[in-house]
Structure 1
Amino acid sequence: MPAQPDRRAQLGTFLRSRRERLTPDEVGLPQTGRRRTPGLRREELALLAGISATWYTYLEQGRKIRASEQVLTALAVALRLDPQERDHLLQLAGHAPAAAEAEEREPLTAEAAAVPLLLQPNPAYIIGGTYDVLSHNQAAADLFPRLIMEADRPANFVRWVFLEPAARHVLLDWEPEARALLARLRMLAARHPGDPRYTRLVEDLTEGSPEAREWWPQYEVQARHSGRKRLRHPRRGARDYTYTAFHLAEQPEQTLVVYYDSGDRDPKAEP
């Protein structure tokens, strides 16, 4: 965290940069005479935010004053800041950003959602931070039966592994796979304390699965990674699969997972 005087200077620079990118037309103000500087004038922004022009000038100049969260929120609205910019503004002013209310379903761009379809016939899906399946192709639906079937809420890979009997037939090494998956969920949940999506998911698992109930208190953690799995395909029988995980650039907790059939039949399992 920068020292207090430096943070005030950064706050002033940030406010000025965002003020200068707006035009009177964009915020519904009339053009009044020739402008020597780009964007809104300080008094115009102060008017939009409902605060004193002198006080706003002091804030932009980095003077030793403290803005309330209410005032900063009004400025964020007037400046048309996006959520990330608003959080940055609050941090520079010495306020912790308000915790964003968790959405029931994570947003996924249409371009990203189309990627699993392009990877057919390789099984592929995109999962969110809580392992909701946000997009998938037909090969994934075939390889993981009864995963894509719930109409009232998104399919969830962790729920499928622990609560769907078909998972124990598909995952030839069910216990180590399930333990590793729970350890990865533990790491993700730790990044979002108090997020109701993780709370509900863990409650579902520990209520419905004796294994999850036993393993969750052991606090095992593991990062998402690529690797190999032994899976039973509905038509080709037991097979060795290599899988690769890619984090989406703009949503790093969303992960594209792609499976490649190695071509080897697993001799240790019956089809």
Structure 2
Amino acid sequence: MTQTRPSTGRAGRAAGRGARRTELAAFLRSRRERISPEDVGLPPGPRRRTPGLRREEVAQLAGVGVTWYTWLEQGRPINASPQVLDAVARTLRLDPAEREHLYTLAGVTRRPLPVDPAEGLPGDIPVILDRLDPMPASVVSARSDVIAWNNAYAAVLWCLPRVPACERNTMWLSFTLPPCCNPIANVDEQAHESVAIFRYRYSRHMGDPGWKDFVQRLCAASPEFARLWATHDVAPPRPCDKVYRHPAVGEIALRSTSLDLSAAPGYRMIVYNPVRQRDADRIAYLLAHPREAAAALPDHRH
């Protein structure tokens, strides 16, 4: 009996793209048909043969060409930028799951919609952070803004509660704090790689003015960051060792693991595992003796 082997290689990839385009066409039609002209402030007009908006109306509201949108909905192999897909998603009133589905079907790298820190993280995440004690853990944005942390992380990165909220960013702290007040002991050792990883993430947010402004401010504040940024080196994220220094106990070596948060797109939880028992013991001391730990900290501010 003759058996048919699954398609592989170029043919398989082409079949996958074709299937996505077919699914994309059906998905866009279904989303368009559920929106009435009145929903988007358009006059109802004469009797319509099909429910919902017409293609030309979607194109007009999204600010794209009628021919381009027609081809997109027909599943033709055309290019679609994230900005244009965003406009289509807004016009069709897609929720976050539908928006992600649109990006996947269009074969475009998704720009996640970040959680608004003012609205708070999903309720389970702070609970998880607390239960990870005495293992240091934090939640950070793609730009390395520290959004939430547990007691162990605050004990190790002891400068965090002492700096303004706008400076609670691990890249900013690494490159702008002077040695006397910088709890990160191996900044020089990891500077090149950390900037290369930061550029890797930056490339996924090229159109975000907040990222551009942050890089400009950090270049102005740190000649070393500016020098490394000018190399244009890039590296993918990976687990790495961090060495922190606390005046009360000395150095604490930790290995970081980054976990993307599906409940908070655009954010990740970083968990720090002590490298040796000695490092775990030093964290335990800081948590058990907060007054002694605080008394050992520098009493000046920069």
Instruction: Report the TM range for the smaller structure's normalisation.
Output: 0.5 to 0.7
Residues 171 and 231, structure 1, Cα contact 8 Å, conserved in 2: yes
TM-score (norm: length of structure 1)? 0.65
Q: Which amino acid aligns with 2:272?
A: Y
Deviation at 1:128, TM superposition (A): 0.9
What residue number does 2:221 align with? 208
Q: Which residue of 2 aligns with 1:155?
A: 168
Identify the residue that residue 52 of structure 2 maps to in structure 1: 45
In the alignment, does 2:268 pair up with 1:255? yes
CA distance, structure 2, for counterparts of residue 7 and residue 208 of structure 1: 46
Matched residue type, 1:220: D
Query: Partners in 2 of 1:247 and 1:91 — Cα distance?
Result: 18
Q: Decide which of 185, 200, 208 is 1:195's aligned counterpart.
A: 208
Equivalences for 1:140-151 in 2 at 5 Å? 140-151=153-164
Gaps in structure 1 of 5+ consecutive residues: 28-40, 65-71, 266-270
Identity within the alignment, %: 28
Partner in structure 1 of residue 189 of structure 2: 176
Cα distance in 2 between the residues matched to 1:160 and 1:75 = 39
Distance 1:151 1:169, change over 3 A: closer
User: 2:139 aligns to what?
Assistant: 126
Look up the equivalent residue of 2:253 and give its one-letter code. Answer: D
Q: Which of 111, 116, 135 is 2:129 aligned to?
A: 116
229-238 or 99-108, which deviates more? 99-108
Amino acid at match of 2:215: V
1:264 alignment partner, one of 278, 285, 291? 278
Looking at structure 1, the residues matched to 130 and 264 of structure 2 have their Cα atoms a distance apart, in angstroms, of 19
Q: 1:78 to 1:137 in 2, by over 3 A?
A: same
- Could you tell me which amino acid in structure 2 is paired with residue 45 of structure 1? G
Contact 1:126 1:133 in 2 (8 A): yes
Determine the C-alpha separation between the residues in 1 that align with 2:175 and 2:199: 15
Higher relative contact order (CA 8 A, sep 6+): 2
Alignment partner, residue 230 of structure 2: 217
Q: Structure 2 stretches of 5 or more lacking a match? A: 1-12, 40-47, 59-65, 77-84, 280-295, 297-302
Output the CA distance in 1 between the equivalents of 2:267 and 2:154: 19
Provide the C-alpha distance between the structure 2 equivalents of 1:139 and 1:83, rounded to a whole number of angstroms. 33
Kept after mapping to 1: 8 A contact 2:193/2:235: yes
CA deviation vs aligned residue, 1:157-205 (integer Å, no higher than 9, x gap): 1101111225874222220222222111111112221321221221121
The CA deviation string for residues 71-96 of structure 1, in whole angstroms up to 9 with x for no partner, is x9998668542256458669989xx9
Cα distance in 2 between the residues matched to 1:169 and 1:112: 28
Tell whether the 8 Å contact from 1:244 to 1:258 is kept in structure 2 after alignment. Answer: yes
Which amino acid in the other structure matches residue 117 of structure 1? D
Task: Name the CA distance, whole Å, in 2 between partners of 1:13 and 1:105.
Answer: 36
Answer whether contact 1:113 1:134 (CA < 8 A) is retained.
Answer: no
Tell me which of 217, 228, 231 is aligned to 2:241: 228
Deviation at 1:19, TM superposition (A): 6.5
Residue 135 (structure 1) aligned with residue 148 (structure 2): yes
Q: Give the aligned length.
A: 237
Indicate how the Cα distance of structure 1 residues 13 and 178 shifts in structure 2: closer, same or farther if over 3 A, else same: same
Greater helix content? 2
Q: Secondary structure at the match of 1:220?
A: coil
Moved more, 82-91 or 148-157: 82-91
User: What amino acid is aligned across from residue 144 of structure 2 in structure 1?
Assistant: Y
- Alpha-carbon distance in structure 2 between the residues aligned to 1:185 and 1:16: 39
Distance change in 2, residues 1:202/1:79 (3 Å): closer
Correspondence for 1:81: 94
Q: Equivalent residue of 1:191, what SS? A: helix
